[in-house]
Amino acid sequence: MQEELRILITAEDIAKRIKELAKEIEKDFGDEPLVFIGTLKGAFIFLADLVRYIQKEDIFIDFVRVKSYGYSDKSSGEVIITKDIEIPIEGKNVILVEDIIDTGITLDFLKKHLALHKPKTIKICALIDKKERRKVEINPDYVGFRIEKGFLVGFGLDYAERYRHLPQICEVIK
């Protein structure tokens, strides 16, 4: 069945905002090396765009893959790492890049998990911060867009694995 979608954030607005976030991160870290860790699959497009706007020499990129939602639009409340980081982050500045924060459970878990590797700092950069269903306090350091509620797709975000490829962010109308 095809869902009805409504455009919430255009591709142009997303690009503009990502450039601003990149500049903020650049400014905050000066010449220090940075490790960007993207959460698969949702953050793959966001991370790819974000790092291209950061003008620095020492940028490292890695990914983690976590599962929490499966094929539903509600969190199971359980987070499982299915792919861990592969590059060392001890003593490094880490930027954890997430597509969307909902309950906060995923990032809370990931932050604690990465902290075990003793990085110098861990900052959270989320494209979307969705407040309504927050269960665990998470205060992202860099946020693209804040919304209250709704289920969003596009620009990496999926609904049952569909719509990740859309260049804009849309709300699913049920």
Site residues, Mg ion (CB under 5 A): 39, 42, 99
Residues that bind ligand IMP (CB under 6 A): 39, 42, 68-69, 75, 98-106, 130, 151-153, 157-158
104 binds, among ligand IMP, Mg ion, none (CB under 5 to 8 A by kind): ligand IMP
Please confirm, yes or no, whether 102 is among the known catalytic residues: yes
Toward ligand IMP, which CB reaches closer, 10 or 32?
10
69 binds, among ligand IMP, Mg ion, none (CB under 5 to 8 A by kind): ligand IMP
Task: In angstroms, give the least distance from the CB of 163 to ligand IMP.
Answer: 9
Integer Cα distance of 15 and 22 in angstroms: 11
Q: What tokens were used for 158?
A: 């999926």
Integer Cα distance of 59 and 124 in angstroms: 16
Toward ligand IMP, which CB reaches closer, 49 or 99?
99
Q: What tokens were used for 103?
A: 């309950």
Task: In angstroms, give the least distance from the CB of 100 to Mg ion.
Answer: 6
- Kindly list the distances between the CA atom of residue 7 and the CA atoms of 64, 100, 111, in Å, as whole numbers in the listed order: 29, 17, 31
Q: What tokens were used for 109?
A: 């878990």
Angle 40-93-60 from CA coordinates, rounded to 5°: 55
> What is the DSSP code (8-state) at residue 3?
P
Task: In angstroms, give the least distance from the CB of 140 to ligand IMP.
Answer: 11
Positions marked catalytic: 102
